[in-house]
Structure formats: structure tokens, C-alpha cells
Amino acid sequence: MLFRQLEYFVAVAEERHFARAAEKCYVSQPALSAAIAKLERELDVTLIKRGRSFEGLTPEGERLLVWAKRILAEHDIFRAELRAMQSGEIAGTLRLGTIPTASTTSSLVISSFCSAHPRAKVQIRSQLATSDLYRRLRAFELDAAIAPVAPEESQGLDVVPLYEDRYVFVVPTDMLAEDALTLRWVDAGQYPLALLTPDMRVRQVIDATFAHHGITVSPQVETDSVSTLLAQSASGDRACIVPQTWLWTNLMSAGLRAVELVDPSLETQIAAAVNSKGPRSPLARAFVASAQHLKLGEFFAKRLGGLYRR
């Protein structure tokens, strides 16, 4: 069994199409099909349901997919370890996932990581739900993630706390009293809202908090992009709710204000997560070290101290 055979098999499983998988692997379709057929003979099982086209994986194929991803990931880790030993430098591509509301805070860690390791590259997926991030980490599809701490979903992962986030109400200036510095959740529920989609952890926290006050919100606009939320508020006809750290870059327009949501004042722990199964890649170790070195909690406390007095 060769690593190339496993790569071809994983490509077919992910693309669900032989021709696209062959194109992804830069080989001809007959060569890819022959390699997978040889793999099946070596293992003495049928891995792929075949008809006129790809029809899915067999139970044995589903099981091999889990192992193949792990084997290939650990092979990449081993090669990265050897390169680091030979050159004394960390190189390769870190596959990082973040929830949408951490897309601006992750830039701080990425800048620190890239400065310390100039031969390393970062590939970012920033529109993923928390459950999807954790699933991809366990499946070795990501090397690291920045996401809310979710004990019920983080089995098999190492979670390193980075900072605590609070929720703010972003609203057009003419829709809120000029001297207001805070707003109760029960009052926020009376505004026309744009919110993140229901699969996002932030939205689930928001819905649960409103439900505690007997309020069910039905926003006319839902999105998986925080930038889109702020653009909706900037249009002047609705408010949105986001974690405050998303605003550290001062991306709000002059026509918007942010006030802290209280009663209750909610805090969410944001962490860096990596797979705890098997050896951890030098890239993942270096990324977590960069994140911890920054002391993000202290950084945001200083940077956002005057946010509500704009």
C-alpha cells in the first residue's frame, strides 16, 4: 500500500467523482482508477460503490477514509519534522479554521506566527461553524482552529484558552440614546435585527439568551459573515449583535455605535484547538505557542476599553 494510493482514494471520497479526483491529483482517470483497484485487491475489500459513476463508499471504505486521512496527516507531520531538524526552521502550510467572529482576532496570531516563521504559510477557512471546525480537526482536515470552547464537542482535541469575549449591540447612531453605554438584552430584542445564521455558535448563544427573557427573534436578514452584519447596520435600518473583539480593528462606519449588552453580561471563552491524537505537527505547535505568547486577553482589555464611549 502506497501513500499515493491513499491520496487517490481520499480525493475520490471527497470529490465524489473519479474525473474530478484525477484532476485534483494531477493524474489521468485510468491511472487513478487502477491505483484504487490495486488498493482494494491488497486489502481484499471493496471500498467504493461503483455503477455508471461514483455511488458512495462501502462501510469498509468509510472506515479506511478515517485512517487514510490520519495516515496522510501523520506522514506530512513526519516530513515537516525532518525538514525542521535539517534546516532549523519551520516550513509548510498551516491549515487554520476560524469561526467568522474570530476572523479579525486570528490575524493577530497569524501575524505573530508568520513573523517568527517566515518560511511557513497559512491557509485560512473563516466561515465555519464551531461543530464543523471540531469535526475537521478530528478528521485531520485542519491543523488548528480558533473557536469557542465547547466541551461537549471537543473530545480528542487539545484546547488552549486564548481570551474571553463579550457581546455588543451595534446600532445606527440615530436609533439609540446618545448617552447610552449599555443595553439590556430584553430591550435589544425589540429592535429590527440582522444576525448570524442559526448554525453558528454565537447565534445559538444569542437565541438562548433571548429565550431566557421569553423573546423569540426572527431576523429578516441572516448571514455567515460579520462584515455583512455591519454593512446591514450601516445601511441605517437595523442593528446586529457581535462579539466585541471583532471590532478591535475599528471597522465600523461613523454612523454606527456599539454598546455592551447586559442583564446578563455574557462571556464566551475563545481557544486555539488542535488534534490530540497522534503527533502534533511543528506548524500546529508553533501556532499555539504564538497565540499564547500574545496574551490576547490583556491586549483586548486595553484596545477595547474605550469602545463604548465612541
Domain assignment present for residue 24? The answer is: yes
Q: Is the pLDDT of residue 310 over 50?
A: no
The verdict on 190 and 245 lying in the same domain is yes
Confidence at residue 122, expressed as pLDDT on a 0 to 100 scale? 92
Tell me the CATH number at 253.
3.40.190.290
**Which cell is 216 given?**
423569540
The verdict on 48 and 88 lying in the same domain is no
Could you count the other beta carbons within 10 Å of the beta carbon of residue 36?
21
Q: Is the pLDDT of residue 309 over 60?
A: no
Average pLDDT on 115-128 reads 87
Task: Give the residue, 76 or 131, on which the prediction is more confident.
Answer: 131
Cα-trace Rg, the chain: 23
Average pLDDT on 265-276 reads 88
The verdict on 288 and 259 lying in the same domain is no
164 strand-pairing partners: 269
The verdict on 47 and 97 lying in the same domain is no
The verdict on 197 and 222 lying in the same domain is yes
Reported as a pLDDT band with limits 50, 70 and 90, residue 74 is confident
Tell me the CATH number at 26.
1.10.10.10
CA distance 60 to 47: 6
Reported as a pLDDT band with limits 50, 70 and 90, residue 1 is low
Average pLDDT on 256-262 reads 90
The verdict on 101 and 219 lying in the same domain is no
Q: What is the pLDDT of residues 166-221, one digit of tens each?
A: 899 999 988 888 888 899 999 999 999 999 999 888 899 999 999 999 999 999 89
CA distance 89 to 83: 8
Q: What is the pLDDT of residues 17-45, one digit of tens each?
A: 888 999 999 999 899 989 999 889 988 99
Q: Which of 27-31, 89-93, 210-214, 243-247 has the lowest mean pLDDT?
A: 89-93
Domain assignment present for residue 126? The answer is: yes
The verdict on 138 and 194 lying in the same domain is no
Boundary of a domain, candidates 21, 54, 70: 70
Domain assignment present for residue 211? The answer is: yes
The verdict on 23 and 48 lying in the same domain is yes
Q: Is the pLDDT of residue 76 over 80?
A: no
Domain assignment present for residue 238? The answer is: yes
The verdict on 154 and 281 lying in the same domain is yes
Task: Give the residue, 97 or 88, on which the prediction is more confident.
Answer: 97
Domain assignment present for residue 308? The answer is: no
Confidence at residue 208, expressed as pLDDT on a 0 to 100 scale? 94
The verdict on 138 and 170 lying in the same domain is no
Boundary of a domain, candidates 43, 70, 97: 70
Q: Is the pLDDT of residue 308 over 60?
A: no
Domain assignment present for residue 22? The answer is: yes
Domain that holds residue 249: 164-267
Q: Is the pLDDT of residue 51 over 50?
A: yes
The verdict on 147 and 187 lying in the same domain is no
Task: Give the residue, 8 or 72, on which the prediction is more confident.
Answer: 8
Tell me the CATH number at 132.
3.40.190.10
Q: Is the pLDDT of residue 305 over 70?
A: no
The verdict on 105 and 156 lying in the same domain is yes
Domain assignment present for residue 306? The answer is: no
Task: Give the residue, 116 or 82, on which the prediction is more confident.
Answer: 116
Boundary of a domain, candidates 39, 70, 101: 70
Interior angle at CA 47, CA 157 and CA 65, nearest 5: 10
Average pLDDT on 294-298 reads 86
Q: How large a percentage of the chain has pLDDT more than 70?
A: 93
Count the domains in the chain.
3
Domain assignment present for residue 307? The answer is: no
User: Following CA atoms 150, 97, 266, 105 in sequence, which dihedral angle do they give, to the nearest 10 degrees?
Assistant: 150
Question: Could you tell me the pTM of the whole model?
Answer: 0.73
